[in-house]
Structure 1
Amino acid sequence: MKNNNSSSSIKNQPCNKKPTILLLLLSLLTTSLFLLRLSQNKIILITTITSDSDHHNRDRQDSCLGRYIYIHNLPSRFNTDILQDCESITRPKDKISICKYLDNFGFGPRIGDDGVSIDSKYSPSWYATNQFMLEVIFHEKMKMYECLTRNSSLASAFYIPYYAGLDFRRNLRRRSVAERDAAGKEMFEWLKKQPQWKESQNISFLTIERSPTSHNEFAIPYPTYFHPTSTFEIRQWQDKIKLTNRTILFSFAGAQRRSRSQNGLVRTQVIEQCKSSSKTCRFLDCDVKANGCDDPMSLMKLFESSVFCLQPPGDSLTRRSVFDSILAGCIPVFFNQGSAYKQYVWHLPNNDGEYSVYIPVKELRTGGKSKIEEILQGIPNEKVIGMRENVIRSVPKIVYTKPNRYKPDKETLEDAFDVAVKGVIKRIEKFKSN
């Protein structure tokens, strides 16, 4: 992957200095990496505000006005060199080398290309995508963004393609915090030397899991297995899952947590209740050596056969499985407000009850062994149908489509990337209005 911002669609005009407000977009679990709190799956975008007088002097017919993005040409050691050293990203507990997941814009190997047959209802746009590839996917999408510019004075956002999450993973086993954070600090020093940084006023973060106490972090979805090429393909998939015969009331795919933390105890309760409701619940144990959790199609078939999909916290509050289940048209069931409701405000419906079920932990622990079953069976059928329709309606906003500079469809649906960029631009407009 070449790390540059050249494109036939890039606006190229003389550069003028303008006051900037910086917005930094990142993702996943926060670490001690200098003051920016860089973490797993980082996506970095810096945004700027231009004055109304600047806009007045520009072509009012320019559809990119207010949406231009400038990509910083980072030294390769901060991105592509990390991918070249992909074996070091693979952790000892990983079953498969992370290197295979770098193919196809970070989507990983296409399902079916490895000789394994794929159900005829699945299109060629299904990939074995790793959940930690978001920063690579985002970078590839940004390279094809329709409103790129080489003129930083035109830009509403400055994108920094630093793969901080992957860099953190490869340095995780280093002895000292200083060694682990060295590249991040070096990137920060590089950033401070750029003219766009000198007048910075504000920093915000895009993450796949925001801190509940942070006012300037915004969560974006984990990548799923589906990366369609067109609106037609998305519509076709939505039509298929509307007609799916769902024979399982609720299901859970995951592993037991040995921790006695709150999250570990909730997951234990969920697994026990699913097992005790064997006639209505299907448990896919991801803690065994030979299981379907490593097979995207096995997971999707389970979720497609289920009315509800249980989503207890795992290592953290959020789960990639939330988006896999939504993709399958399965209604998510949450046990913590921080698993989705306080996270993905741009990508999921504002009314939580319209697309999901929330069971508080204290309610989970009261009653008999099948409390979850009791609650889910008590939801009226018309309510279930309405929630499923809203889940299916959300599919376009939670998938990352294939990078494509040209959009041949007359109808264009915003994907997860588009929604995230739009959210950032709106935030900049809010700063301008104030």
Structure 2
Amino acid sequence: MKKFNPRKRKVARKQSPNLLIYILPTLLFWVLFVPRINQTVTYLFPSYQETLNITLKTKHEEIDTCAGRYVYIHNLPSRFNEDLIESCESYAELRNKCKYLVNSGFGPPILEDEHNHTVRVLTTETDSWYSTNQFMLEVIFREKMRHYECLTNDSSLSSAVFVPFYAGFDGRRFWGYNVKLRDELGEDLAQWLRERPEWTKMHGRDHFFVTGRVGRDFRRVSDQDSDWGNKLMRLPEFENMTMLSIETNSCSNEFAVPYPTYFHPKTKTEVRTWQRQVRTVQRRYLFSFVGAPRPEMEESIRGEVIKQCLASQERCKFLNCDTPSKDCGNPVKAMEVFQDSVFCLQPPGDTTTRRSTFDSVLAGCIPVFFRLNSAQYKWHFPVDHTKYSVYISEDDVRDGKVSIEKILSMINEEDVLSMRNEVEKIIPKIIYAKPGAVGPEKNEDAFEIAVSRVLERVSSLFKNQDNDQNLGMT
């Protein structure tokens, strides 16, 4: 018989709590975590369909919607832009333009008058109408570029480079001065660009700029002080760049973009509201002409156009811009005439194109051209000009061979309706919308179309540069 050993019993009592220490965590694990094991495994090892969904979502999130659309903006010294407009009062040739620089070039807002005349003509409740000067495009475009959705600070990622040079203001301030003064700032800019690292990529062929003047102002042929304009576009650097202007000389690196109008909506809804108004308005006149005669220009047909309009009595409305009342400078009065007319005559003035063309299209009025080159806006107008406009030979009008009223009155109602529908479709493409709209309400306006076409052009030049040994060597 074994004797009781009190030491062993004591040891046994000490081992019992240790077993619980090992067992309790295991029990807790099974109670608390086993029910969640299936969920954990599912999360760590999802089914095939769930894996596919996650993969697709990841790939979708990695899509760069700006690929091929990035634009880099040169940070130019202020003498090339800001200084030109801050000191505009100092130059006689710019002084009457200074008041239009407010609101980023849109100009002063058009307010309601005391007789509600403005309300009847414009959709003023949208706060989208401004007294916009026709030469403010470079200021407007720069502000639009600042809000462009695909800007980049890394020039190596850019597909195009924007040069915010106020070429029109520079050219205008030295009207009539010697050629040295006229060319000085442009030559400085050419040197500045040439020394930038961005220039070496395509030697400027991926660079573009915008001007609110016509192309001929920058292509002076000689160095005689009596010759017109400056020689900006004849500088080797600028011969490589793309210029967007309100009228071009049909050169390979110049492209026409719309003159600014008075309407700068922010959303598509505002545009549709305006389209609905011009679609339903009652038009009292068969045709109209808003402009001034050009008696000093022997080749001008304006005198004959005005003569025929006045002879048509109540079928034509003439708003004379050569009067002390300055009615043509009143956006409401000008737009009212355009809205009241089925056809709007657009004879050449100082140049082939007119801002009036875009104001009349905005009002839903069918433009009547007398030179085919007046419809040079191939990025914004239909290629077939007969779809939205009427052409009457300038020579036939000058020689008195045609009656404008007779030609227009012979166009049948079905064709008129068809052209008006086309004009209405053009409206969103010729306006410069107020920056800020995003998503479905964002309108593809004149700015968006122009930038898109520039990117297409640069892409084409880039693809072809390896095949052209001379490309980029200028």
Segment drifting more, 391-400 vs 354-363? 354-363
What letter is aligned with 2:147?
M
Q: 2:167 aligns with which of 151, 164, 167?
A: 164
Query: What is the DSSP-based 3-state SS (H/G/I as helix, E as strand, rest coil) of the residue aligned with 1:195?
Result: coil
- Following superposition of structure 1 onto structure 2, how do residues 240-251 of structure 1 map, counting pairs within 5 Å? 240-251=277-288
State whether structure 2 residue 136 is matched by structure 1 residue 106. no
Gaps of 5+ in 1: 1-58
Following the alignment from structure 1 to structure 2, what is the Cα–Cα distance between the partners of residues 225 and 298? 12
SS for the counterpart of 1:105 is coil
Cα distance, 1:223 vs structure 2: 0.1
Whole-angstrom CA distance in 1 between matches of 2:298 and 2:447? 34
Distance 1:105 1:116 in 2: 29
- The reply to whether residue 122 of structure 1 matches residue 123 of structure 2 is yes
Distance 1:427 1:333 in 2: 30
Secondary structure in 2 matching 1:208: strand
SS, match of residue 161 in structure 2: strand
SS in 1 for 2:313: coil
1:273 aligns with 2:308: yes
Within the candidate set 352, 363, 370, 2:385 is matched to 352
Q: Give distance in 1, aligned partners of 2:282 and 2:389.
A: 19
CA contact (8 A) 1:89 1:166 kept: no
1:336-415 to 2 correspondences below 5 Å: 336-340=371-375, 343-365=376-398, 371-404=403-436, 406-407=437-438, 409-415=439-445
Question: How far apart are the structure 2 equivalents of 1:365 and 1:217?
Answer: 30
Aligned to 1:185: 187
1:210 aligned to 245, 248, 262, which one? Answer: 248
Q: How do 1:10-25 and structure 2 match up within 5 A?
A: none
Q: Deviations over 1:341-380 (max 9, x none)?
A: xx20000111110000000123324667x70000000000
Secondary structure of the 2:262 match is: coil
State the partner residue of 1:135: 138
Report the CA distance between 1:215 and its aligned residue: 2.1
- Which has more helix, going by share of residues? 2
- SS of the residue aligned with 2:447? helix
**Aligned ranges 1:304-323 → 2 under 5 Å:** 304-323=339-358
Q: Separation in 1 of the partners of 2:400 and 2:190?
A: 53
Letter paired with 1:427: R
The structure that has the greater radius of gyration is: 2
- Whether the 8 Å CA contact 2:248–2:255 is kept in 1: the answer is yes
Q: For 1:62 and 1:115, how far apart are their aligned partners in 2?
A: 51
> Would the alpha carbon gap of residues 318 and 150 (structure 1) be closer, same or farther in structure 2, given more than 3 Å must change?
same
**CA positional deviation for 1:243:** 0.2
2:395 is paired with a residue whose SS is: helix
CA contact (8 A) 2:261 2:358 kept: yes
* Corresponding residue of 2:153: 150
Q: 1:260 to 1:100 in 2, by over 3 A?
A: closer
- State, as a whole percentage, how many aligned pairs show the same letter: 49
Count of residues paired in the alignment: 364
Does the residue aligned with 2:255 lie in a helix, a strand or coil? Answer: strand
CA contact (8 A) 1:101 1:129 kept: yes
Secondary structure (helix, strand or coil) at the match of 2:289 reads strand
When residues 205 and 218 of structure 1 are mapped into structure 2, their CA distance, relative to the original with a 3 A threshold, is same
Q: State how far apart, in whole Å, the 2-side matches of 1:261 and 1:185 are.
A: 36
The aligned counterpart of 2:289 is 252
The one-letter code matched in structure 1 to 2:192 is W
Measured in 2, the distance between the counterparts of 1:282 and 1:143 equals 41
Equivalent position to 1:420, from 450, 455, 460: 450
Would the alpha carbon gap of residues 113 and 76 (structure 1) be closer, same or farther in structure 2, given more than 3 Å must change? farther
After superposition, the Cα gap between the structure-2 partners of 1:154 and 1:319, relative to the gap in structure 1 and judged at 3 Å, is: same
Q: What do you get for the CA RMSD once the two structures are aligned? A: 2.0
Once the 2 structures are TM-superposed, how far is the Cα of residue 428 of structure 1 from its aligned partner?
Answer: 2.2
3-state SS of paired residue (1:70): strand
Contact 1:107–1:129 (8 Å) recurs in 2? yes
8 Å CA contact 2:112–2:119 kept in 1: the answer is no
SS of structure 2 residue aligned to 1:106:
coil
- The structure whose RCO (Cα within 8 Å, separation 6+) is larger is 1
Q: Which amino acid aligns with 1:276?
A: A
Cα deviation for residue 204 of structure 1 reads: 2.5
Match of 2:84, SS state, is helix
On the 8 A contact 1:89/1:167 being kept in 2, the answer is no
Unaligned regions of 5+ residues in structure 2, if any?
A: 1-60, 206-239, 465-474
Match of 1:223 in 2: 260
Whole-Å separation in 2 of the counterparts to 1:65 and 1:116: 52
